[in-house]
Amino acid sequence: EMFGQLTTGLESAWNKLRGVDVLTKENISEPMRDIRRALLEADVSLPVVRRFVSSVSEKALGADTIRGVRPEQQLVKIVHDELVQLMGGEVSDLVFTKSGPTVILLAGLQGVGKTTVCAKLAFYLKKLGKSCMLVAADVYRPAAIDQLTILGKQVGVPVYSEGTEAKPPQITKNAMEEAKSKNIDAIVVDTAGRLQIDKAMMDELKEVKKAVNPTEVLLVVDAMTGQEAAALVTTFNIEIGITGAILTKLDGDSRGGAALSVKEVSGRPIKFVGRGERLEDLELFYPDRMAQRVLGMGDVLSFVEKAQEVMRQEEAVELQKKIMSAKFDFNDFLKQSQNVAKMGSMSRVIGMIPGMNKVTPAQIREAEKRLAFVESMINAMTAEEREKPELLAESRERRIRVAEESGKTEQEVSQLVAQLFQMRAQMQKLMGMVQGQEAIAGMG
């Protein structure tokens, strides 16, 4: 199993947290060291490991506890989310041109599985319902052309070839014209590989690229090359400009580091992974599924996600209720102020969700100060006054009494009462808008 060692290494991190109540700087330091070691042993590159561990620590210390979720389970979820981000977050599918054939140019060193990928991609495209043609632009090895021809027959797609005499840029251009005239959706171009990166190979790729302006330039990399894989993607990207990578031989005994490092190091996504020699052994690369495989804890992850979802929903329902009730009193007011202050720390959990902004510490402090101020006055009110703010609005005596008991001025109490009525009015307006919209929807 590719991630076997990594999964085991991470397990020792979770185990060290068993029995703790909350994640602290002290109790995460050892587990963090385990995570670091496990990633390095899996061939993840050092700068990537450093950034990863520091980001996980920060999130772990900032995270609010979630009811029913144990700290080690929460850390599993944080590591999972960070792994997903590390691998690019979203799946990165093939891009197709709107008009003319989509040109998919494959590059890569010799023996990495490039020719096999050509056939697998043709198979994948066929499954998508797209017509496709393979192009033999590796003119240096006659065997490569034969291999592609055989594979093309196997998949049932045409193979375009001009033998070994023609030049790859011209072959590819001609192939594109042919595909256009035959209304073929996509062509997959097999180019020549070398044992190592050399200038002649790069120059040829640049020329082919210039001749046909491909939609996709995908670098095929062997996962077994470990750390080297991410470096290769970076070099090819700088030299010729690629749109993504295909990682092959993930079924072998690679330690998985390439899958984790490529995006972060090169800035280019892994689009597909190859897991075997058969045509159907090519899959889109899903960062979340890959992260789950690394952790091997699908049940814990879905449990934490559910708990987080319940917490979010409960809070949303509460807020909704308050907005909908026209009887917004000082008890609600207090709860609302407490929520706003709590939301500050909540936002750090929300900050784990990509796209959501964090609340700044200054804003949190501001909300907390405001809460203390409001709380002291509301605590000085009688239960009746809290439920019927009108009593305070109508009686100056009552306001003076609250001011004295809370150590605030009469004016501050008056402002608080006025603010409550303003909020009530706003909520009623909001309600009116909602009802208005419903009425408009009903008219349709």
Rule CB under 6 A: choose which of 251, 283, 288, 375 binds ligand GDP: 251
Compute CA distances 89 → 45, 79, 80, 269, whole Å: 19, 13, 11, 10
**216-222 and 102-107 beta bridge pairing:** parallel
CA 407 to chain centre: 50
Among 249-257, 312-320, 353-361, 374-382, the segment contacting ligand GDP (CB under 6 A): 249-257
Question: Is residue 249 near ligand GDP by the rule CB under 6 A?
Answer: yes
CA 328 to chain centre: 39
Smallest distance, ligand GDP to C-beta of residue 247, A: 9
Rule CB under 6 A: choose which of 101, 108, 214, 256 binds ligand GDP: 108
Question: Is residue 45 near ligand GDP by the rule CB under 6 A?
Answer: no
CB closer to ligand GDP, 110 vs 174: 110
Smallest distance, ligand GDP to C-beta of residue 78, A: 32
Rule CB under 6 A: choose which of 77, 114, 209, 263 binds ligand GDP: 114
Q: Give 308: exposed, middle or buried? Use CB within 10 Å, 0-12, 13-18, 19+.
A: buried
β-partners of residue 106 are 190, 218
CA–CA distance, 49 with 44 (Å, rounded to integer): 7
Strands of 11-121 (E only): list them. Answer: 102-107
Rule CB under 6 A: choose which of 89, 276, 296, 351 binds ligand GDP: 276
Distance between first and last Cα of the chain: 58
State whether the Cα torsion 28-34-38-44 is positive or negative. positive
Question: Is residue 193 near ligand GDP by the rule CB under 6 A?
Answer: yes
Among 11-19, 248-256, 340-348, 395-403, the segment contacting ligand GDP (CB under 6 A): 248-256
Smallest distance, ligand GDP to C-beta of residue 191, A: 10
CB closer to ligand GDP, 119 vs 334: 119
Question: Is residue 271 near ligand GDP by the rule CB under 6 A?
Answer: no
CB closer to ligand GDP, 279 vs 431: 279
Is there a contact between 270 and 87 (Cβ–Cβ < 8 Å)?
yes
* Cβ count within 10 A of residue 69: 19
Nearest to 71 by CA among 55, 59, 82: 59
Rule CB under 6 A: choose which of 55, 85, 110, 170 binds ligand GDP: 110
Instruction: Give residues in contact with ligand GDP (CB under 6 A).
Output: 108, 110-116, 193, 248-249, 251-252, 274-277, 281
